[in-house]
Amino acid sequence: MEATVSILMGSISDRPVMQACADRLDALGIGYEWRVLSAHRTPTETHSWVSGARERGIRVMICAAGMAAHLAGAVAAATTLPVIGVPIASSFDGMDALLATVQMPPGIPVATVAVGKAGAKNAAVLAAQILALSDPGVSERLEADRVAMREAVLAADAELQRR
């Protein structure tokens, strides 16, 4: 499956959180690439990787970072592809990463999701929704996923009511 989403992590320590993103993309049948690249420690390599994304077939960028959390902003500054930021809780319960990710200057947007694994999962779903605008197969898989979530909640409620 060809990669259409790029997952960038500022540190390999972000992988346990971002595995949830990769798992959701896998479940939705969406190919991805992922790298550890830092806005601060590898700026040249990060810019180079992002600059070639469109030519590699990438249509959405997902960036995860904690602490200073400048990765999503640095990526958004280097591309016109949609960028989704996932703040990682590493200090201040992730509030510093959330603010660093969400507070972007006008003209350089980053769609920011929740802190941590919930955000990682939602980043995958948001990327899928963007891709679904031009891919009916992704759209159908998203619809089926939504139905499955509904059925799981109703089954849990039915089990609770039986008790």
The residue-averaged pLDDT of 105-131 equals: 97
Q: Report the sign of the C-alpha dihedral through residues 46, 49, 54, 56, in that order.
A: negative
Residue 114 one-letter amino acid:
A
Residue 21 has pLDDT above 90, yes or no: yes
CATH class of 3-135: alpha beta
Residue 129 one-letter amino acid:
Q
In terms of pTM, does the model score above 0.85?
A: yes
Which residues pair with residue 6 across a beta bridge?
33, 61
Which residues pair with residue 61 across a beta bridge?
6, 83
Looking only at the bridges linking them, the beta strands covering 60-66 and 83-88 are: parallel
Give the span between the Cα atoms of 81 and 8, in whole angstroms.
14
Residue 136 has pLDDT above 80, yes or no: yes
Residue 68 has pLDDT above 80, yes or no: no
Residue 86 has pLDDT above 90, yes or no: yes
For the stretch 35-67, pLDDT in tens is: 999 999 999 999 999 999 999 999 999 999 988
Long-range contact list for 106-111, CB < 8 A, 24+ apart? 108/73, 108/76, 108/77, 109/76, 109/83, 110/63, 110/72, 110/73, 110/76, 110/83, 110/84, 110/85, 111/82, 111/83, 111/84, 111/85
